[in-house]
Structure 1
Amino acid sequence: MELTTVWFCLIAVLWIGYFTLEGFDFGVGMLLPILAHDEVERRVLINTIGPVWDGNEVWLLVAGGATFAAFPEWYATLFSGFYLPLLLILLALIVRGVAFEYRAKGHGVAWRGRWDIAIIVGSWVPAVLWGVAFADIVHGVPIAADGEYVGGFFNLLHPYALLGGLTTALLFLTHGAVFVSLKTDGPIRHEARALAARLGILAAGVTVAFLLWTQLDSGDLASGLLFVGAAVALVAGLVAVGAAREGWAFCGTFVAIALGVAGLFVALFPDVMPTTLADGASLTTTNAAATAYTLKIMTVVAAVFTPLVLLYQSWSYWVFRRRITVEHIPADHAPATAR
């Protein structure tokens, strides 16, 4: 297998890790005004992702860095053509991260309320825009013969791309609700499980529509099999939700997102950014790649450090595996005026 193909697969794995892990982070933030009815419950929800959200974002940083190093032409065209949506995602992630850190620095209702809004908005914006961006990448965008993006912002907002944004938002909402039911106990757990069942039905319908459209537009046998697997995993997760088996339900939504993203990359290959112009030129794993020497060095570095990162992140999830309840929230985090 050529190193260009190896690195395309590795970048796909990084994005799979990001969407499956950061996906439930986004879901929890998006559900904050729905599942949390007072300050104590808001703190419970935030604490479910408190130890892991920043580690989950590392997958995005590594995916971006790997794309820059392995496929510089892809990186350059992507960040020039998708400048505005990627800037909005970046700003949302920054605001969201600051909100997690600063929310507990004050005790006033107004103070915490403003940071709660930042968490909610900072979760919704990337949850939607990542779906729009990936749908555009798979479908194709206007790329000229010299590899430059020649479209505008509104070229990215066609029906297929908007359906992609709706798909990721609903999947992350369902994934987040399942995660909350897995990580909490008491009334929040039961409410999150009931909400996951309702959201999951809607998410399943929209996801099947998006994956079917993708398959008809640019899929092949391999991507079709992955899309079917994603749909089966999502349905199995919803069945587990109904049976109050939160662990299996989380595995179902996790695998559904993973197989769905994998299918998108398979449908995209060997392109990395196809063009929609008759006289344009698509970027492929060959013409967008770095030099062979660069890819060799990167492969050695990845082989050494990737297992270490995976071991550390697995250990952190194991350490913070227990459920959280309102009884675990100290009194100073729940002032009476916040109710």
Structure 2
Amino acid sequence: MELHNVWFVLIAVLWTGYFFLEGFDFGIGVLTKLLARDRAERRVLINTIGPVWDGNEVWLLTAGGATFAAFPDWYATLFSGFYLPLLLILICLIVRGVAFEYRHKRDEERWQTNWEHAIFWTSLLPAVLWGVAFGNIVRGVAIDGDKEFVGGLSDLLNPYALLGGVVTLALFTFHGAVFAALKTVGDIRVRARRLAFRLGLATAVPAACFLLWTQVLRGDGPSLVALAVTVAALLGAIGAIRAGREGWSFALSGVTIAAAVAMLFLALFPDVMPSTLNEEWSLTVTNASSSPYTLKIMTWLAVIATPLVLLYQGWTYWVFRKRIGTQHLADSH
């Protein structure tokens, strides 16, 4: 396999890891309004991701950096054409991180409530916008012969991409509800399990529509296999949470996300950003990649660094693996 194809696969893996990990992060943020009944339960939900949320975002930084180094033309066209939505995502991630750190700095109810509102909205908006962004990447955008995006913001708000935003929001919220059931004890665990089941059913219909639309739009044999795996895993996750098997449900909801991302990249390949103006102007793994020498150096660095990162992040999750509930909360200062 040529190195530019290898790096296309690696970037797909990085986005898969990001959506799997940050997906339940965003879901927990949304659930602070949908599931938690009081401030104590909101603290419990936030504490389930407290030790890991910032580590999860490393996958996004790595995916962006890898795209910049391996496919500079893809990076340039993507970040210039999607400037406003990506800027909004960046602002949300910054505010969200500040909200996690500053929420508990004061006892005042208004102070904590405002930061809780910030956590909710800065979790919901990126969950939607990532779906819209990837929907447009797969569908294609207006790229001219100079590899430049010549469309406008309104071109990005098409029905297919907006449906993608609905699907990522629903899927991440379901993923977060399953994670909440897996990481909590007591009444909040029972309610998280019930809510996860309902969210799973609500996710199934738009997800099936979006995946079928993707298959009709750009799919082939391998993407059809990924579609089948996605549907089977989602149904399995719903059935497992219904049976009270939170661990199996979380694993299967993770497989759902991974298979869905795989389907999008399989449908996209060998393009990285199709042009809706002229197929010959599409960015591909060949015409958008860096030099072979650059890709070779990057490959050696990835071979050395990736296992270390995976070991460290896996250790973090192992250390903070226990369930928590309101009885485990420290007294507020």
Structure 2 residue runs without a partner (length 5+):
none
- Mapped contact 1:215–1:224 kept (Cα < 8 A): yes
1:178–1:249 contact (8 Å) kept in structure 2: yes
Counterparts of 2:207 and 2:215, CA distance in 1: 12
Shift of residue 278, structure 1, vs aligned partner? 3.1
Question: Is the 1:144–1:280 Cα contact (8 Å) retained in structure 2?
Answer: no
Aligned partner of 1:183 in structure 2 is: 183
**In structure 2, how many angstroms separate the alpha carbons of the residues matched to 1:282 and 1:263?**
19
Mapped contact 1:184–1:323 kept (Cα < 8 A): yes
CA–CA distance in structure 2, aligned partners of residues 224 and 169 of structure 1: 23
| Shift in Å, 1:35 | 1.4
Q: 1:279 to 1:255 in 2, by over 3 A?
A: closer
Once residues 184 and 10 of structure 2 are traced to their aligned partners in structure 1, the CA distance between those partners, rounded to angstroms, is 34
Q: Is the 8 A contact 1:142 1:280 kept in 2?
A: no
Partner Cα distance (1:11, 1:191) in 2: 36
Q: CA deviation at 1:18?
A: 0.2
Structure 1 match to 2:30: 30
Q: Is the 8 A contact 1:22 1:56 kept in 2?
A: yes
CA contact (8 A) 1:145 1:279 kept: no
Q: Which amino acid aligns with 2:276?
A: T
Secondary structure of the equivalent of 1:107? coil
Q: Name the residue aligned to 1:222.
A: 222
Residue matched to 2:86 = 86
Q: How far apart are the structure 1 equivalents of 2:20 and 2:10?
A: 15
Q: 2:312: which partner in 1?
A: 312
Aligned partners of 2:49, 2:125: CA distance in 1, in Å? 18
- Aligned-pair distance for 1:280? 6.0
The 5 A counterparts of 1:84-123 are: 84-123=84-123
Match status 1:332 vs 2:299 = no
With normalisation by structure 1, the TM-score equals 0.97
| Alpha-carbon distance between aligned partners in 2 of 1:231 and 1:320, rounded to the nearest angstrom | 31
Confirm or deny: 8 A CA contact 1:272 1:283 kept in the other structure: yes
Provide the residue aligned with 1:158 in structure 2: 158
Could you tell me the percent identity over the aligned residues?
A: 63
2: distance between equivalents of 1:308 and 1:279?
Answer: 40
Q: What is aligned with 2:235?
A: 235
Q: TM-score, normalised by structure 2?
A: 0.99
User: Could you tell me how far apart the structure 1 residues matched to 2:101 and 2:280 are?
Assistant: 46
Describe the SS at the equivalent of 1:287: coil
Cα distance in 2 for partners of 1:123, 1:34 equals: 13
Change (3 A) 1:57 1:279: closer
Name the SS for the 2:332 alignment partner.
helix
**Partners in 1 of 2:143 and 2:222 — Cα distance?**
26
Report what 1:255 is aligned to.
255
Shift of 1:104: 1.0
Residue by residue over 1:15-68, the C-alpha shift from the partner in whole angstroms, topping out at 9 and shown as x without a partner, is: 000000000000000110121111211110000000000000000000000000
**Separation in 2 of the partners of 1:302 and 1:65?**
12
> What is residue 336 of structure 1 aligned with on the other side?
none
State the distance in 1 between where 2:206 and 2:326 align.
Answer: 34
Counterparts of 2:139 and 2:42 in 1: how far apart (Å)?
A: 39
Deviation at 1:279, TM superposition (A): 7.2
SS of 2:281 mapped into structure 1: coil
Read off the aligned partner of 1:309 and give its amino acid letter: V
Query: Residue in 2 aligned with 1:267?
Result: 267
In 2, are the aligned partners of 1:27 and 1:123 still within 8 Å (CA)?
yes
Query: Aligned partner of 1:269: which letter?
Result: F
**In the TM superposition, what is the alpha-carbon distance from 1:124 to its structure 2 partner?**
0.6
1:198 maps onto 2:169 in alignment: no
SS in 2 for 1:332: coil
Separation in 1, partners of 2:332, 2:200: 36
Q: Secondary structure at the residue paired with 2:272?
A: strand
Distance in 2, Cα, partners of 1:132 & 1:279: 22
Partner residue of 1:212? 212
- Runs (5+) with no aligned partner, structure 1: 334-339
Q: Secondary structure, in 3 states, of the residue corresponding to 1:31?
A: helix
Aligned length: 333
Partner of 1:272: helix, strand, or coil?
A: strand
- Give me the whole-angstrom Cα distance separating, in 1, the residues matched to 2:278 and 2:324: 56
Q: Does 1:77 align with 2:77?
A: yes
Letter in 2 for 1:250: F
Q: Which residue pairs with 1:337 in the alignment?
A: none
Once the two structures are TM-superposed, the CA of residue 292 in structure 1 deviates from its matched residue by 0.8
Whether 1:278 aligns to 2:278 is yes
CA offset digits 1:233-274 (Å, max 9, x no partner): 010000001100000010111000000001100100000000
Q: Which residue is equivalent to 1:129?
A: 129
- RMSD value over aligned CA atoms? 0.8
> In structure 2, do the counterparts of structure 1 residues 103 and 97 end up closer, same or farther at CA, with 3 Å as the change threshold?
same
The residue that corresponds to 2:63 in the other structure is: 63
Q: Distance in 1 between matches of 2:229 and 2:253?
A: 11
Q: CA-to-partner distance for each residue in 1:127-173, whole Å, 9 max, x for gaps?
A: 00000000000000000011000000010000000000000000001
